[in-house]
Structure 1
Amino acid sequence: MSLFSRSFVATALLALSCSAAQAASLDEVQKAGVLKVCTPGDYKPFSFALPDGSFEGLDVDLVASLAASLGVKPQFVKTSWAKLMDDFTGGACDIAVGGISVTLERQKRAWFSVPYMVNGKTPLVRCADVSRYQTVAAIDQAGVKVVANPGGSNERFARANFKTAQLTIHTDNITIFNEVLSGRADVFVTESAETLVQQKLNPGLCAVNPDKPLQYGEMAYLLPRGDTLTKAYVDQWLHLIRAQGDYQRITAKWLN
């Protein structure tokens, strides 16, 4: 057998081996009857942990649809933005959801589904200050107090763009909005969808140009790296729920 033939056979066997492993990954979910879902659960409207231990939100409803399509139940695994990638790559769950921004750093360690939402970085400020904080340059000024939550793309955006403003990392993503309302902070930059929800929940806070974000962004689901079967299935499921109108119905419930 020639060197080329041996190489071709080895490659084919490796592909078959990988396909079998990937098929088993999806099969194991169905055999177990459970889809394990990592989520921080502190990010309205995508995923929010309730006092009784259950979760609600746009991604919670969507992943319930995904689980139903597989004939299994979703089982949510609480994580944090700082621990998300370690928990996911460590095998704590089969998929991760909850308003996860697509980043190249995350792509190095896992795969993403096709994006299900375009959702860029948008300032959330006191309503009286909307005209003051229209751009990154306007925010990055001495005396401006910026707040960010740790471990995710919000912190990375803040550290990359705000070198002159005073930056504080606030560890509780649920109470971070009170920092701006109270005046302890002036600006919180997060995804536009969150700013739209939080300005409704917190009178006095306003999103700054949510239809024209400071930075383009996409949201997608984290999937196991190298598992082509799972990625193909999730991508096709997303395509079908869009085509059939289920995606629009669920997003309208949480965003309108």
Structure 2
Amino acid sequence: MAAGANALPALIALRIEGTIDRWPDRKKRSHGGNPNARQPCAYAMEQEQQMRMGGTSRYMLTAALLFAALVPGGAARAEKRALRFGLTGDYPPFAEQRPDGSLQGADIDMARQIARTMGRPAEFVLTSWSTLPGDFAAGRFDIAIGGLTVTPERAALGTFSLTLLDDGKRPLALCRNQTRYKTLADIDRPGVNVQINRGPAIAQLAGQWLHRANLVVNRDDETLTARLLDGSVDVWITDGVVVDRIARQSHGRLCATTATPFNHVAKAWLIRNDPRLIGQVNKHLAKALRSGDWAAAVQAH
């Protein structure tokens, strides 16, 4: 099988060469009124050369197509370019950039596995939440990952993958205050300092939910947990997956006050509108969801 496959390019080349060398004689043209009529041989040779050159180009293209179609791996080699993933790198457990510049997270693990399954290198392109839509539309990456919430605005740019996580906003507080801030009614009271992180979505929701509590917008991701621990704020409302992660890592100091989210959102990847790529990505994600590999990756990060 391998020997036959290796012989195909040579056979194609011989076939092309033989076809051009046996190019049929052209019908003689009338040279009446032609300035080259007094040199019929030179004129005919020039015309024959031009036709040979045109034929060569056509047959070279045919050779390339035959090689890709017939030689095992020929077409696949055209798909070896890097599979590009866009991410903000600031949303654990999905995707986080470490101080040394390396990346970690459940989405990073899945992206590398998918690229490896497809036989393509994985390339990660950093963006920001504000520039992500424009970067995706401009084709800077093939798939946007890293904890994207499904929204109509993003869905208009591409195709969302299978839902990876059903989530929603929930409160996080000191464990000793766990029973005090279980509902929005418990939280939205005068004198309660409620922290939210940067981003337009949570700010809009907080404006709808909170009217009497003191709303604190903290744009410094590094101090979000610290401000809860030192008592600067009483409650932090954020994504449930983040609440559970921080609670696990706090060694009993911080707790989720409820398992019921205040709203419901879906997390997924945004894929460029390529049916083949969409099918490949969803096939891998479906397998990871069924096997529990996705849930394990979220827990690990």
TM-score (norm 2): 0.66
Deviations 1:101-148 (A, max 9, x none): 222343244431110122222111122222121112222223222222
Distance 1:62 1:40 in 2: 16
Structure 1 stretches of 4+ with a deviation exceeding 4 A read none
Which among 256, 271, 279 is matched to residue 207 of structure 1?
A: 256
Distance 1:184 1:29 in 2: 56
Distance 1:137 1:91 in 2: 45
Listed as ranges, the gaps of 5+ residues in structure 1 are: 1-26
Mapping of 1:1-256 within 5 angstroms?
A: 30-32=79-81, 34-151=82-199, 153-203=201-251, 204-210=253-259, 212-224=260-272, 226-244=273-291, 246-254=293-301
Structure 2 counterpart of 1:115, which letter?
T
Match of 1:3 in 2: none
101-110 vs 90-99, greater mean Cα deviation: 101-110
Deviations 1:228-248 (A, max 9, x none): 333232222212333455435
Distance 1:135 1:56 in 2: 33
Listed as ranges, the gaps of 5+ residues in structure 2 are: 1-75
78-87 vs 175-184, greater mean Cα deviation: 78-87
Structure 1 counterpart of 2:194, which letter?
V
Distance 2:192 2:264 in 1: 23
Q: Secondary structure at the match of 1:179?
A: helix
TM-score (norm 1): 0.77
Greater RCO between the two (CA within 8 Å, min separation 6)? 1
Distance 1:131 1:29 in 2: 59
Q: Highest Rg: 1 or 2?
A: 2
Distance 2:295 2:213 in 1: 39
Cα offset, 1:50, TM superposition: 0.8
Distance 2:220 2:140 in 1: 23
RMSD: 2.5
Distance 1:209 1:50 in 2: 30
Q: Conserved in 2, the CA contact under 8 Å of 1:125 and 1:188?
A: yes
Q: Secondary structure at the match of 2:80?
A: helix
Q: Secondary structure at the match of 1:138?
A: helix
Between the two proteins, the alignment pairs up a number of residues equal to 225
